[in-house]
């Protein structure tokens, strides 16, 4: 391997064998599935809300619980894959994910769907760290690895774009449960091909499994993420404070245990390495904004502009195509520019995309959404490819599972914070500005005042005049949250760019020195 990042970037064409690229093609299947699953539900949520009429908090739980459970288990699963075998864990996770998806498709209630989504989080935690760490081990050459990660990230972006489109097609012709059944045809080929094409890999000297560290990592993450979500929606409370305390104490105990262990589940010294830490931060903050954008924009397109789920999904397609192009194209730019320069440029582009939303807020048409999303996704494609490559290159291949899990934890935390905090800001502005017409039942009034999807469901039961009054008010109230949400997301991404620029400079990942 080259001793410096720039010499690696200037190397000739990637030299990985054909078998490595075939293995990558198989590993892209769970990536595609997880990406589709992340966005298809946001577009199906208005239909689910109409069917079950859950409270706004339950709607957020349907979206969030998957990321909450997954984030709590990622580090443990990454370490488990290092020890038991990453391919084996990938196959177990794929089998479980397909089975639970079939159950979720026929959920009889919103509460049952929340439970099913939590189970999907358990098996989902086995998928993403396994794919990233397998790539790290299959592609020993740095140039080939960077291209493979670019393709991996681009597939994730493509899946995020395909989610709304596939979901839109399914929702126009089938029950909403069909959006969960798509996991089965995607994962079946993986279960057949992975044992033949993907080589098994594990840490040759993993040390003993540490159940206490696994429990501590879970207890640190779960109440912490729950507290973030709850305080964002319901405000501070004794339960929220207790959850933060439990999470913080467990986190401290976990860190102390890792530092004292001869074979830690997660090498805490990684976080002293500026490129690793700043890349994790870049992933986290860019995903906060992106997932928050998708959450509110899917509802704006459908419930404010009146588009069908399919048409709303197609609006996101140009941005996703640009993200794929940017993600793969940045590999060539890495020959001429330092990694921190590319990450910072990408984050600035993401920030500009949000500030464009802020600029267009008074006339957020389909054209304005398309243009803003193109700029935003261009930045995501650039920054995610380089930051993910930096993260996995910062550790030896044998320890890649835990490092990959940190990267995925940042992503899932970003997804939770994005939907919880930014979604809650939208809900707060909606409730403060909606004007519910008189003459409705208490239940109808409560549903209409809770969320725009609730107002849409109630409006269908009202006479034409009252229905129009309610939806006109609901649309204005919903869009009142666009300005603060876009400003917060854009500012967070800009902060990440500043941090990366100040801390990353002049340093290369240790494995590339």
Asked if residue 238 and residue 178 are part of one domain, the reply reads no
| 65-74, 198-207, 393-402, 456-465, range with greatest mean pLDDT | 456-465
Q: Are residues 127 and 222 in the same domain?
A: no
pLDDT computed for residue 161 by the predictor: 66
Assess whether 260 and 284 both reside in one domain.
no
Comparing C-alpha atoms, which of 157, 202, 185, 198 is closest to residue 38? 157
Whether 413 is covered by a domain: the verdict is yes
- Does the pLDDT of residue 82 top 80, yes or no? no
347 and 361 together in one domain: yes
316/454 same-domain check? yes
Per the domain annotation, does 205 fall within a domain? no
CB-CB contact of 247 with 220 (8 Å) = yes
Of 239, 264, 289, the last residue of a domain is 264
Cα–Cα–Cα angle for 301, 295, 364, nearest 5°? 35
| Listed range (240-244, 367-371, 438-442) with the worst mean pLDDT | 438-442
Q: With pLDDT > 90 as the criterion, what percentage of the chain qualifies?
A: 11
Domain assignment present for 100: yes
Question: For residue 29, what are the contacts with CB-CB under 8 A and spacing of at least 6?
Answer: 186, 187, 189, 190
Comparing 427 with 357, the larger pLDDT belongs to: 357
Check if the beta carbon of residue 137 is closer than 8 Å to that of residue 400: yes
Write the DSSP symbol of residue 181: H
Report pLDDT for 401.
Answer: 63
Cβ atoms of residues 45 and 168 within 8 Å = no
Q: Are residues 188 and 99 in the same domain?
A: yes
User: 248, 264, 280: which is the final residue of a domain?
Assistant: 264
Query: What phi and psi values does residue 404 have, to the nearest 5 degrees?
Result: -60, -35
The domain spanning residue 364 has which CATH number?
Answer: 1.20.1250.20
Would you say residue 7 has pLDDT above 70?
A: no
Which parts of 316-399 fold into alpha helices (H)?
317-333, 339-359, 366-393
Residue 201 lies in a domain: no
Q: What whole-number distance in Å separates Cα of residue 208 and Cα of residue 265?
A: 10
Neighbours of 196 (CB within 10 A): 9
Q: What's the whole-number average pLDDT of the chain?
A: 80
**Percent of the chain at pLDDT exceeding 70:** 89
Q: Is residue 283 domain-shared with residue 330, that is, in the same domain?
A: yes
pLDDT band at 14 (very low <50, low <70, confident <90, very high): low
Does 297 share its domain with 438?
A: yes
Q: Summarize the confidence of residues 148-173 as an average pLDDT.
A: 77
**In Å, how far are 57, 289, 329 from 111, measured between CA atoms?**
11, 27, 43
| Structural domain includes residue 202 | no
Question: For residue 455, how many other CB atoms are within 10 A of its CB?
Answer: 25
Task: Report the pLDDT averaged over residues 311-316.
Answer: 81
Quick: pLDDT tens for 351-373: 999 899 888 888 888 998 899 98
Residue 97 pLDDT: 93
Concatenated DSSP letters for 43-98?
Answer: HHHHHHHHHH---HHHHHHHHHHHHHHHHHHHHHHHHHHHHH-HHHHHHHHHHHHH
Q: Cβ–Cβ contacts within 10 Å for residue 212, how many?
A: 11
pLDDT digits (tens, 9 = 90+) for 45-77: 778 877 887 776 677 778 778 877 877 787 788
My answer on whether 337 and 397 are in the same domain is yes
Judged against a pLDDT cut of 70, whether residue 377 lies above it is answered with yes
The total of structural domains in the chain comes to 2
CA 482 to CA 360: how far, in whole Å? 10
Task: Show the domain range for 55.
Answer: 5-195+265-512
Of 37 and 343, which is predicted with more confidence? 343
Position 396 scores a pLDDT of 67
Query: What is residue 265's three-state secondary structure?
Result: coil
Residue 203 lies in a domain: no
Residue with tokens 């990985």: 16
- Both 270 and 250 in a single domain? no
Residues 257-268 have pLDDT tens digits of 988 887 777 778
d(CA 456, CA 460): 7
The two structure tokens encoding residue 124: 């989902």
Q: Is 473 a residue whose pLDDT tops 80?
A: yes
- Name the phi and psi angles at 302, rounded to 5: -85, -45
Q: What pLDDT, on the 0 to 100 scale, is given for residue 96? A: 93
pLDDT at residue 142 is higher than 80: no
Final residue before a domain boundary, out of 240, 264, 288: 264
Rounded Cα gap, residues 13 and 504, in angstroms: 27
Same domain, 190 and 247: no
CA atoms of 419 and 424, how far apart (whole Å): 8
Closest to 426 measured CA to CA, from 282, 299, 252, 281? 299
- pLDDT of res. 400: 61
Structure tokens at 235: 């405000």
pLDDT single digits (tens) 475-493 = 888 878 888 888 888 888 8
List the end-to-end C-alpha distance of the chain, in Å, as a whole number. Answer: 9
User: Could you give the dihedral angle defined by the CA atoms of residues 362, 291, 504 and 149, in that order, rounded to the nearest 10 degrees?
Assistant: -130
Is there a single domain that holds both residue 58 and residue 40? yes
């Amino acid at each position: 391997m080259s001793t410096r990042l720039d010499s690696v970037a200037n190397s000739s064409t990637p030299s990985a064998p054909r078998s490595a690229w075939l293995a990558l093609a198989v590993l892209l299947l769970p990536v595609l599935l997880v990406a589709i699953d992340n966005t298809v539900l946001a577009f199906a949520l208005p239909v689910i809300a109409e069917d079950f009429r859950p409270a706004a908090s339950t709607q957020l739980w349907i979206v969030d619980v998957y990321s909450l459970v997954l984030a709590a288990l990622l580090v443990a699963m990454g370490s488990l894959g290092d020890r038991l075998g990453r391919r084996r864990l990938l196959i177990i996770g794929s089998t479980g994910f397909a089975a639970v998806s079939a159950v979720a498709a026929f959920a009889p209630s919103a509460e049952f769907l929340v439970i099913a989504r939590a189970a999907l989080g358990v098996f989902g935690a086995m998928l993403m760290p396994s794919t990233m760490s397998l790539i790290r081990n299959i592609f020993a050459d740095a140039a080939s690895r960077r291209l493979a990660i670019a393709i991996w990230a681009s597939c994730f972006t493509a899946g995020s774009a395909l989610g709304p489109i596939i979901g839109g097609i399914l929702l126009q012709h089938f029950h909403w449960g069909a959006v969960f059944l798509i996991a089965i045809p995607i994962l079946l080929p993986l279960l057949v091909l992975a044992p033949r094409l993907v080589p098994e890999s594990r840490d040759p000297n993993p040390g003993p499994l540490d159940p206490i560290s696994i429990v501590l990592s879970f207890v640190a993450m779960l109440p912490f993420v729950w507290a973030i979500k709850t305080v964002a929606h319901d405000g501070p409370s004794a339960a929220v404070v207790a959850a933060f305390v439990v999470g913080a104490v467990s986190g401290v105990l976990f860190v102390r245990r890792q530092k004292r262990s001869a074979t830690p589940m997660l090498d805490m010294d990684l976080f002293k390495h500026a490129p690793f830490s700043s890349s994790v931060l870049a992933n986290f903050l860019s995903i906060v904004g992106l997932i928050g954008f998708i959450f509110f924009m899917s509802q704006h397109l459908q419930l404010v502009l009146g588009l069908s789920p399919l048409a709303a999904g197609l609006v996101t397609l140009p941005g996703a195509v640009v993200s794929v192009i940017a993600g793969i194209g940045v590999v060539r730019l890495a020959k001429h520019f330092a990694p921190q320069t590319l990450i910072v440029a990408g984050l600035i582009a993401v920030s500009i995309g949000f500030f464009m939303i802020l600029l267009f807020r008074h006339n957020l048409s389909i054209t304005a959404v398309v243009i803003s999303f193109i700029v935003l996704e261009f930045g995501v494609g650039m920054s995610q490819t380089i930051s993910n490559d930096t993260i996995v290159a910062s550790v030896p291949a044998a320890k890649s599972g835990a490092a990959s899990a940190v990267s995925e934890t940042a992503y899932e935390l970003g997804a939770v914070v994005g939907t919880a905090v930014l979604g809650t800001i939208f809900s707060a502005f909606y409730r403060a500005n909606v004007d519910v017409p008189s003459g409705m039942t208490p239940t109808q009034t409560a549903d209409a005042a809770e969320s725009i999807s609730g107002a849409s469901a109630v409006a269908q039961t009202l006479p034409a005049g009252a229905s129009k009054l309610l939806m006109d008010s609901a649309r204005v109230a919903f869009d009142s949250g666009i300005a603060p949400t876009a400003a917060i997301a854009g500012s967070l991404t800009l902060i990440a760019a500043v941090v990366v620029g100040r801390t990353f400079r002049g340093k290369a990942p240790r494995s590339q020195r």
